Amino acid sequence: EVSRVVVTPTGMGGYTATTESFATGFEEPVDVAVGSDGALYVADYAAHKIYCIRTLSNLSDSYKQVEPGVPEPGDLLTYTLHVVAVRQDFPFTLTDPIPISTTYVTDSVGAPAGTMITQVGGLVRWWGVISPYTSLTATFVVQVDAAVHTPTTILNTATLTGTGDVDSPYSLQTTAIVGALRCYLPLIL
């Protein structure tokens, strides 16, 4: 009997494996082990080779939020940027334009120690190195223009680039709806 082995990364440096009967007939012995680096090593005795299987390291779990999601003209919006690393140290750069119909609140940028964040002109720029299996959070605040027509959507898109991340750059988007129309339904008891 030949078994098919499906190996899935746990996301925390380990793997889980399931087996199922795949075919009968020729068998080729192999050994499988998880190395201290979190990679899966497969020893193929017939081919006299050792294969190393790694999950792709990336920043794809990173995301962005805005609060409140339904502001009024003149309200403050707090943008929170979450950079999440999987598997290895990542040098990263995140560039976020100040949204249209808003004004940056002076000195409102904040980031953890060991990273740098600046606001110059119409851009917030944040960079540093993130450790494996961690997340870093940075924030900045803008004020919605008092004269903005309502309802209107404020879309904000940041660009995240990770050195060595083959899938980057990533677009992190969030939306606030200024002066959203509200509909109140009757409550029948």
Q: Flag whether pLDDT at 46 surpasses 70.
A: yes
Name the residue ranges covered by the structural domains of the chain.
2-53, 63-178
Q: Tell me: domain 63-178, CATH 2.60.40.740, correct?
A: yes
Alpha-carbon distance 127 to 147, whole Å? Answer: 34
> Can you give the pLDDT at residue 34?
78
Alpha-carbon distance 140 to 137, whole Å? Answer: 11
pTM to 2 decimal places? 0.69
Q: What are phi and psi of 76, to 5 degrees?
A: -90, 140
Instruction: Give the pLDDT confidence of 118-166 residue by residue, as tens digits.
Output: 988 899 999 999 888 888 999 999 999 999 999 999 999 999 999 878 7
**Amino acid identity, residue 49?**
K
| Whether residue 186 has a cis bond before it, omega within 30° of 0 | no
Q: Flag whether pLDDT at 38 surpasses 90.
A: no
